Structure 1
Amino acid sequence: MARDQIKVPFGYEPPAQARKGTILLFETFEDWTEADIDALVSWANERKFARAIFYPQHEETLRRMGIPCEEPYYARVKHLESMLKQTLPTALEPDVDAWEGKRKKYTPLDTSLNFLTDKYPGPYFIAMSDRYVNLFVTYPSFKEWIKKARLFVFNRFGVPLQEKLHEYSERWEVVEFTNGS
């Protein structure tokens, strides 16, 4: 198959990308409101991320992690997709990844992160609530992932963060939304 040749003037440099990176959002998204989603999308847009991947986790995964969840997976995904359709259009590409729903069983966080980083372009940023981060820090692979991706912590539940997280203080930050969530 022949390649198309493109002619450009001497010294041409393509314009730098204004937006880059993929933020991976891990949460139940059970008690999230439209205001929470709007605040999150506007925050990600201000940070100039290229895309935001919302990754609700299956109830079996949440049960094994010790995170309470009353709504079934598919109801949470449907509700999240409907809220994302109602957000204002931005340069950010929000998307819901429902891969864990196809598995219908416990999916370790490492497996999910490997799948998402293989599927979407980098650089990578991980966003989790404070209760997720406290669990993530206890996993043996945390040291590898904190070097590969920057971490954002949403202070939703007021849970104190583990001391081990403070060893990597230059690789994470706490995010507060303006609407108080």
Structure 2
Amino acid sequence: MAREQIKVPYGYEPPAHSDKGTVLVFETFEDWTAHEMSACIAWAEERKFVRVIFYPQHEETLRRMDIRSEMPYYARLKHLEQLMEDVDTQLQVEVDKWEGKRKKYTPLDTSLNFLTEKSPGPHFICMSDRYANLFVTYPSFKEWIKKARLVIFTQFRVPLHGKLHDCAERWETVDFGNGV
């Protein structure tokens, strides 16, 4: 197969690749609406991310994390997929169903390792304020906050944990409920 020759002006430099990596969204998704979904996608598009992965967690994982969920995993998954049908975006948007295949408790570290190995970086972990307050208490939080940035969406309006202020430059808050 012959190569195609491309002519460019002298001194041409290709433009820098401006797209960022992957947003990993951790949440139960049972109380998400189309407005929150579109606000999340709009935020990711504005920041020029390449990929958004929604990661609903199994009931057993939520129970061990002391997070109440009224709907079972498969009902929440179906609800999330219905919300995604209405999304019109150029981003690669997907739902990761790995935890549903495991059908048991999956530590947050295991989930993060699995997702970061299979998706391009840099990684942004997006979770509600309720999740973030739990995540900051885990022993592995200090390693993860160095590897990935944390995006906290203020869904439940709970005060943030004091340990988050030690690494204030590695996280930010976003409000998906009232638009971006």
Is the TM value for this pair above 0.5? yes
Q: Judge which range, 77-86 or 8-17, deviates more.
A: 8-17
Q: For residue 94 of structure 1, report the CA deviation from its aligned partner.
A: 1.3
Please list the CA deviations of residues 14-41 of structure 1 after superposition, one character each: whole Å capped at 9, or x if unmatched: 4422322100000000100111101111
Query: 8 Å contact 2:36–2:177 — kept in the other structure?
Result: no
Give ranges in structure 2 of 5+ residues lacking alignment: none
Partner of 1:62: 62
**Quick one: distance in 1 between partners of 2:76 and 2:153?**
19
Match of 2:22, as an amino acid? T
TM-score, structure 2 normalization: 0.91
Structure 1 runs (4+) deviating above 6 angstroms are none
**Quick one: distance in 2 between partners of 1:132 and 1:47?**
22
Partner of 1:27: 27
Partner of 1:167: 166
Partner secondary structure for residue 168 of structure 2:
helix
Partner of 1:93: 92
Query: 8 Å contact 2:155–2:177 — kept in the other structure?
Result: no
**Quick one: distance in 1 between partners of 2:13 and 2:121?**
22
Q: For residue 60 of structure 1, report the CA deviation from its aligned partner.
A: 0.4
Give ranges in structure 1 of 5+ residues lacking alignment: none
Q: Judge which range, 100-109 or 170-179, deviates more.
A: 170-179
Q: For residue 6 of structure 1, report the CA deviation from its aligned partner.
A: 6.5
Q: For residue 81 of structure 1, report the CA deviation from its aligned partner.
A: 1.1
Partner of 2:150: 151
Q: For residue 92 of structure 1, report the CA deviation from its aligned partner.
A: 1.7
Match of 2:155, as an amino acid? R
TM-score, structure 1 normalization: 0.91
Q: For residue 5 of structure 1, report the CA deviation from its aligned partner.
A: 5.8
**Quick one: distance in 1 between partners of 2:40 and 2:139?**
29
Match of 1:120, as an amino acid? S
Paired residues in the alignment total: 178
Please list the CA deviations of residues 35-72 of structure 1 after superposition, one character each: whole Å capped at 9, or x if unmatched: 11011111111111111100000000000000000111
**Quick one: distance in 1 between partners of 2:158 and 2:130?**
6
Q: For residue 144 of structure 1, report the CA deviation from its aligned partner.
A: 0.4
Partner of 1:128: 127
Partner secondary structure for residue 30 of structure 2:
coil
Matching of residue 142 in structure 1 with residue 141 in structure 2: yes
Partner secondary structure for residue 105 of structure 1:
coil
1:33-72 → structure 2 map (5 Å cutoff)? 33-72=33-72
Partner secondary structure for residue 150 of structure 2:
strand
Inter-CA distance 4–15: structure 2 relative to 1 (3 Å threshold): farther
Match of 1:58, as an amino acid? H
Please list the CA deviations of residues 155-179 of structure 1 after superposition, one character each: whole Å capped at 9, or x if unmatched: 1111111111100000001112363
Match of 1:95, as an amino acid? E
Partner secondary structure for residue 109 of structure 2:
helix
**Quick one: distance in 1 between partners of 2:18 and 2:128?**
27
Please list the CA deviations of residues 114-138 of structure 1 after superposition, one character each: whole Å capped at 9, or x if unmatched: 0000110101000010010010001
